[in-house]
């Protein structure tokens, strides 16, 4: 048996629906059709009345989730693409994110954002916008990089008493497979050492973890042992694990698929520079997508985002190879 | 409750109508007096930030609050002091929120009209106009999921707020899900300084109802009795399962947008028109005319309410102010997921 | 242009009507064939990303493009190949955009239906539904500021797109400013898999018009002649200064949402209903019946258009693909304000 | 004669309208009323037909500005409060910001955001959200800290061929006065040494510049010479000036009124750490608002944001005082 990242997301939702009567799913085409990516395949049939199609009204979709959460429900919201969450932005950052702080009433909603670049998807179906949510207080932002995390972190997201932006990478949907679903999991908030090493720490998250791992593998032949830290959650961000890794390696490269200004890589480097300055043997470096919209043509797209190729260049530079 | 002897005109059938009217009038009076107190505290520099009054809108607002039952959901807006009180808000909670008391429902974190108690179905507005409607929808959906029936959700908006995308998405959402939503629009002729002619171009706002497939109601917002009847009927229809109800009330804002604003832009002709009538005065005259109350009892009520307000203000003024060192400065319910780095120490 | 001899039925008055119809038909035919070519390129793995067809919507779409004049503004949506061609788009631009050619108007930066030439009044959609309407409004406002009169702005939307806040805000904005906007809604019964019953609850979408104070028109979207007449009349009204026009056309999407979608969710009853008629076939039959064209000329047209399409595809396939090293990777027009740091080298 | 920050903004708009027939102003209550803050006072009267009231429709307001820009206009858009731009967010980041890159047609629109905290304004009328705009490609984000910059940068914003987010600080509106309007100005994109010093660089922007200057003044008596860099523009960010300052002082404290995660301070520190690592004699530090919504009560508000008091504590720590 083998299960994809996408199937893991479906399975997590099936389990959440089965285990907790407070859970329901709401989003465009999530009903009988099973969602644009089939992440809710058969769930409407298996859980009648609990998986609802929404109109093309992202603002109202999110707003209603907050209301239901106030009444004790635990909605899972599917945005058809992360990019479209910008029209529901206000309800996320000003309604959902402030509720608990203002009233002490928790707002347990999970907003699933199919995000990240895939070839040929262009400027409006490829964005990585985790940073704009992480910037606001009152929101948790998760970025699972593995099939196991897609499953266990989504289950945990539903259990968390705060709004969770669940960034599921569309590139990983079909490309990533595991043998089985996990039975135990690291908690949200903890980063993972995806590969141990002692010469350089590459901090990455979501799809970039796999690019970083490929580089670590590739550079073995050049004598470098690269440690790869998978952040898993970008807010909260597990600074301790990152700093402990840098303490071991003395060198930091932070890689993100998002735009440069104020992204995860800026936040990670700022934390390491302020809290772990003395551990650094060389200037920390970061690698982001280019500061333009995400291009449509594969030639451009594969240059716009970091890849194993460009990460390897940066890693070699940092390692003096 | 009513302290006058029933007048000859008050037949047996009229008694409940009279009781309802008098009850509403007394809340309107309280709301007006409380608003006036906030205005005077503002002028005295005792309130930080803005003060937003409901002057001229009390009849409509009280009708909404009073038409609801315990267990219903209510998301009022900036001009709903009357509706809030009718729905059960205490004077103390209102004063505490305006003064930023840590003992109020918002604990000094949020203020003025941004207050509520979500656990009691009383939803605290965020400032973004239109944004509360879908929250009410969701609360009603939540009830439906839980098999709880019979509740209604009401929320208020100005005519300016109908121009927001949020208004549209949420009214449509309510219509599709056939939720028991009562959406009350106070067309008070202005959105801040902007006249309705620059806000919409339809002949009557209530004409929007048909485009959503919801029931539309239109009412003279200066007439308490009309408001009680129209809003009461709409709430009853929603409760009975007839889907969303859109009420549009016509009236004039009899104050500035906020207390910082002298509203010099308001067309004097409107002030003289029937729209410009003060609903509280109209209701008082109606009371007297019908002999449902006499001038003396009204004076007594007024004195009583002023006393209640002054007491509340006195209490709050003696309360401690928020202590930043006692704040946990945590926006998350999940304590273990908080971060405390790179912040202001 | 029309290659058949006038039939006896075609009176002198009918000639312009006939010419218009034939012209439109030929564009519809081209659009259908071009769409089919995109579908086959997609199946052959030659197109990256999605392919979105207008099958069943050509009559409506062509009517929009053909009713506009040079100097007008047009913001088409995903199912508007016909309207784009009628408005003047070349086959080459369409193919180049789908194939991501650096010589196309979007130069490989954006693709498929996201194309246009803003300088020519042809606005390139962003994906967010409803977002183009206010852009058309602004273009019309810009013209007004510049004292340029007589132009109309048209834009298209699906019935699903009417649920967006953007639709509401922008139609209201156009109504307030009384802009010559023609907003064409194709109610093709589904938004992706979502049937209209889960998208809105009003009896007829066109009932929304009154709530904005704009003129509403309803039309059978499978009937080319009706589309030409209704859209033409609406455009004329807008041009004459009657303010925004909302057109709702009824039809059925005769393809998947995109070419990845087999549309298995479409109710077979709808396919059999009059809504499910193929507007291209209906128009062809109408042509033949009226003897405005015979089968042979239609075949000639088809062959000619296939040839044009194949030529364009052949050209584009020989064109270079975008070269990332020739890209300037700059999102700003202001070169001196760009930044090139911490990016992918 | 004396002129406030707010008046300077009015004057810049008056001059832009007078100088360029392509300029118009659109926003809620900007017409005869002169705007919620009176930033457009009398402009509708002085420039008939060119200062238009908008409905409460932020999405359509921004969208229409893009359309007008395509037709060659140069709209100035007033958001009533920065916080409400979240409902026009999509049109800013996906429509306006991508137009030039997608089509080579420039999008010269200026969006004025009255932003930043003032006492008693609470969670939805106090936000500093420059970072969410700066994160996106295709946008320029300006944060004038002085009356002179408010004037000259707004004029320059209108002349720039790209969407400009013009963050005008509400606290400075009335608190800041100058003798006259400037006749010449530094260009957008250049940071300014607001005060020279050699022991510590404090990088700040907008209202925080004045808090930083107060600290610099205060710490003179303790023997410290603090250099204050006013960023002026947060995107583009003038890394060169910041790094040159750090080269002189060896120490960096970056202060922002926004939330911590991924804000301007993260970006500045990441840049200095990656590009000027060797210049730092001590770990760089940053100071932000607390990671909660902005509180209503003055007691809380003044603790939530950095102030001269808290900046002085951080500065002393960095200086070992
Ligand atoms: C989305 C949004 N934009 C702008 C504002 C600023 N604002 C607050 S109240 C107001 C006017 C509201 O007018 P209306 O809805 O008619 O209500 P009224 O004040 O007349 O009761 C405006 C523009 C806001 N709160 N929300
Ligand atoms: C704001 C927004 N939300 C979601 C989407 C994803 N999406 C793309 S097309 C589509 C369905 C559109 O249906 P409709 O408007 O009826 O047009 P049709 O495809 O039927 O022509 C959806 C949901 C989007 N493009 N924009
Ligand atoms: Mg109003
Ligand atoms: Mg459709």
Cβ-count burial C216-240 (b if 16+ within 10 Å, e if not): bbbbbbbbbbbbbbbbebbbebbbe
Tokens (6 digits) for C55: 């099958």
> How confident is the model at residue B341, as a pLDDT?
61
In whole angstroms, what is the distance from residue A35 CA to residue A52 CA? Answer: 11
* A151 shares a domain with A42: yes
Show the low-confidence residues of chain B (pLDDT under 50): 1-12
* D118 shares a domain with D66: yes
Residue A183 within any structural domain of the chain = no
> Are the C-beta atoms of D319 and D285 separated by less than 8 Å?
no
* A219 shares a domain with A172: no
Instruction: Identify the domain boundary among A178, A204, A231.
Output: A178
* D206 shares a domain with D105: no
Q: Could you tell me which residues come within 8 angstroms of residue D297 by beta carbon, excluding any fewer than 6 positions away?
A: B48, B100, B108, B109, B111, B321, B322, D120
> How confident is the model at residue B15, as a pLDDT?
82
By the CB < 8 Å criterion, does D36 face chain B?
A: yes
Q: How many residues appear in chain D?
A: 321
CATH number at A203 reads: 3.40.50.920
Instruction: Give the model confidence (pLDDT) of C246-284 as tens digits.
Output: 999 999 999 999 999 999 999 999 999 999 999 999 999
Q: Could you tell me which residues come within 8 angstroms of residue A311 by beta carbon, excluding any fewer than 6 positions away?
A: A202, A208, A211, A212, A215, A253, A255, A287
By the CB < 8 Å criterion, does A317 face chain D?
A: no
Give the strand order in the sheet containing D192-195: D192-195, D226-230, D200-204, D252-255, D285-287
| Closest residue, chain C, to A295 (C-alpha) | C109
In whole angstroms, what is the distance from residue D113 CA to residue D131 CA? Answer: 13
Residue A185 within any structural domain of the chain = no
> How confident is the model at residue B9, as a pLDDT?
43
> How confident is the model at residue A217, as a pLDDT?
98
Residue D184 within any structural domain of the chain = no
B341 contacts D260? CB cut-off 8 A: yes
Dihedral over Cα of B225, B228, B234, B237: its sign: negative
A80 lines ligand 2 (CB under 6 A): yes
Residue A187 within any structural domain of the chain = no
Residue A184 within any structural domain of the chain = no
Bridge partners (DSSP) of residue C146 are none
The label of the residue with tokens 């004076």 reads B299
Residue A186 within any structural domain of the chain = no
Lowest mean pLDDT among A204-213, B178-187, B266-275, C13-22: C13-22
| Closest residue, chain B, to A66 (C-alpha) | B135
Residue A236 within any structural domain of the chain = yes
> How confident is the model at residue C341, as a pLDDT?
61
Residue D187 within any structural domain of the chain = no
Report percent pLDDT > 90 for chain C: 93
Q: What is the pLDDT confidence band of residue C343, given thresholds at 50, 70 and 90?
A: low
In whole angstroms, what is the distance from residue B191 CA to residue B78 CA? Answer: 12
D265 contacts A270? CB cut-off 8 A: yes
* A237 shares a domain with A91: no
Please determine, for residue D274, whether its predicted confidence score (pLDDT) is greater than 60.
Answer: yes
* D155 shares a domain with D37: yes
From residue C167, how far is each of C132, C179, D145 by CA, in Å? 9, 15, 38
N-term to C-term CA, chain D: 42
> How confident is the model at residue C344, as a pLDDT?
56
C163 contacts A56? CB cut-off 8 A: yes
Please determine, for residue D181, whether its predicted confidence score (pLDDT) is greater than 90.
Answer: yes
- Coarse DSSP helix, strand, coil percentages of chain C, rounded to the nearest 5 percent: 45, 10, 45
* A232 shares a domain with A287: yes
- Please tell me the number of the ligand nearest to residue B129's CA: 1
Tokens (6 digits) for D200: 């510590």
* D312 shares a domain with D253: yes
By the CB < 8 Å criterion, does D300 face chain A?
A: no
> How confident is the model at residue B314, as a pLDDT?
98
- What is the D69 CA–ligand 2 centroid distance (Å)? 26
* A96 shares a domain with A208: no
A122 contacts C111? CB cut-off 8 A: yes
CATH number at D36 reads: 3.40.50.970
- What is the A62 CA–ligand 2 centroid distance (Å)? 17
Walk me through the domains of chain C, giving residue ranges and CATH numbers: 2-343 (3.40.50.970)
* D288 shares a domain with D220: yes
Instruction: Identify the domain boundary among D125, D149, D178.
Output: D178
Give the one of B175, B178, B198 whose C-beta lies nearest to C176's C-beta: B198
Counting Cβ atoms within 10 Å, is residue B110 exposed (0-12), middle (13-18) or buried (19+)? buried
Q: For residue D248, what are the domain limits? A: 192-319
Number of domains in chain D: 2
* D152 shares a domain with D218: no
Lowest mean pLDDT among A125-139, C18-32, C326-340, D87-101: C326-340
Instruction: Give the model confidence (pLDDT) of C165-221 as tens digits.
Output: 999 999 999 999 999 999 999 999 999 999 999 999 999 999 999 999 999 999 999
Instruction: Identify the domain boundary among A178, A204, A239.
Output: A178
Instruction: Give the model confidence (pLDDT) of A71-91 as tens digits.
Output: 999 999 999 999 999 999 999
The label of the residue with tokens 């109606």 reads B286
Predicted ipTM of the assembly = 0.97
* A234 shares a domain with A99: no
């Amino acid at each position: 048996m083998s299960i994809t990242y996408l199937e893991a997301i479906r399975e997590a939702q099936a389990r959440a629906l089965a285990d907790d009567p407070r859970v329901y799913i709401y989003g465009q085409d999530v009903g009988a059709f099973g969602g644009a990516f089939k992440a809710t395949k058969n769930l409407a049939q298996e859980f009648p009345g609990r998986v609802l199609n929404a109109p093309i009204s992202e603002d109202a979709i999110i707003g209603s989730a907050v209301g239901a959460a106030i009444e004790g429900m635990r909605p899972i919201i599917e945005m058809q693409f992360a990019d479209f969450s910008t029209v529901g932005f206000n309800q996320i950052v000003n309604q959902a994110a402030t509720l608990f702080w203002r009233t002490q009433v928790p707002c347990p909603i999970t907003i699933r954002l199919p995000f990240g670049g895939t070839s040929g998807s262009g400027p409006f179906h490829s964005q990585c916008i985790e940073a704009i949510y992480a910037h606001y207080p009152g929101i948790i932002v998760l970025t699972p990089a593995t099939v196991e995390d897609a499953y266990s972190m989504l289950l945990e997201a539903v259990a968390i008493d705060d709004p969770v932006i669940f960034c599921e990478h569309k590139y990983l949907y079909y490309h990533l497979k595991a043998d089985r679903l996990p039975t135990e999991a690291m908690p949200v908030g903890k980063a993972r050492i995806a590969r141990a090493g002692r010469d350089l720490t590459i901090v990455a998250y979501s799809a970039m973890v796999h690019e970083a791992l490929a580089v670590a593998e590739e550079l073995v032949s050049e004598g470098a042992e690269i440690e790869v830290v998978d952040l898993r959650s970008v807010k909260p961000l597990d600074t301790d694990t990152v700093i402990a890794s840098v303490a071991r390696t003395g060198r930091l490269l932070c890689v993100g698929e998002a735009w440069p200004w104020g992204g995860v890589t800026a936040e990670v480097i700022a934390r390491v520079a302020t809290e772990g300055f003395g551990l650094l043997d060389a200037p920390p470096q970061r690698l982001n997508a280019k500061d333009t919209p995400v291009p449509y043509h594969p030639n451009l797209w594969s240059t716009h985002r970091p890849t194993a190729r460009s990460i390897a260049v940066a890693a070699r530079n940092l390692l003096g190879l | 409750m009513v302290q006058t002897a029933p007048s000859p005109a008050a037949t047996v059938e009229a008694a409940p109508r009279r009781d309802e009217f008098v009850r509403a009038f007394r809340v309107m009076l309280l709301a007006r007096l409380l608003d006036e107190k906030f205005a005077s505290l503002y002028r005295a520099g005792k309130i930080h930030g803005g003060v937003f009054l409901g002057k001229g809108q009390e009849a409509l607002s009280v009708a909404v609050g009073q038409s609801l039952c315990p267990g219903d959901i209510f998301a009022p807006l900036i001009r709903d002091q009357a509706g809030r009180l009718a729905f059960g808000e205490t004077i103390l909670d209102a004063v505490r929120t305006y003064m930023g008391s840590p003992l109020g429902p918002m604990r000094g974190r949020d203020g003025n009209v941004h207050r509520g108690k979500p656990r009691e179905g009383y939803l605290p507005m965020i400032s973004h106009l239109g944004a509360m409607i879908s929250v009410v929808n969701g609360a009603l959906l939540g009830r439906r999921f839980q098999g709880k029936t019979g509740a209604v959700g009401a929320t208020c908006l100005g005519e300016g707020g109908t121009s927001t995308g949020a208004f549209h998405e949420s009214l449509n959402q309510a219509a599709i899900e056939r939720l028991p939503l009562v959406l009350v629009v106070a067309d008070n002729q202005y959105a801040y300084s902007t006249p309705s002619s620059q806000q919409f171009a339809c002949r009557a706002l209530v004409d929007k109802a048909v485009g959503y497939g919801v029931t539309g109601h239109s009412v003279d917002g200066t007439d308490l009795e009309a408001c009680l009847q129209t809003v009461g009927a709409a709430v009853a229809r929603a409760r009975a399962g007839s889907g969303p109800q859109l009420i549009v009330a016509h009236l004039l804002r009899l104050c500035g947008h906020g207390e910082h604003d002298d509203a010099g832009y308001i067309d004097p002709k409107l002030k003289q028109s029937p729209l410009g009538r003060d609903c509280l005065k109209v209701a008082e005259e109606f009371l007297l005319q019908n002999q449902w109350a006499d001038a003396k009892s009204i004076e007594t009520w007024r004195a009583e309410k002023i006393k209640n307000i002054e007491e509340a203000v006195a209490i709050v003024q003696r309360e401690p102010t928020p202590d930043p060192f006692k704040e946990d400065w945590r926006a998350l319910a999940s304590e273990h997921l908080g971060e405390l780095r790179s912040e202001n120490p």
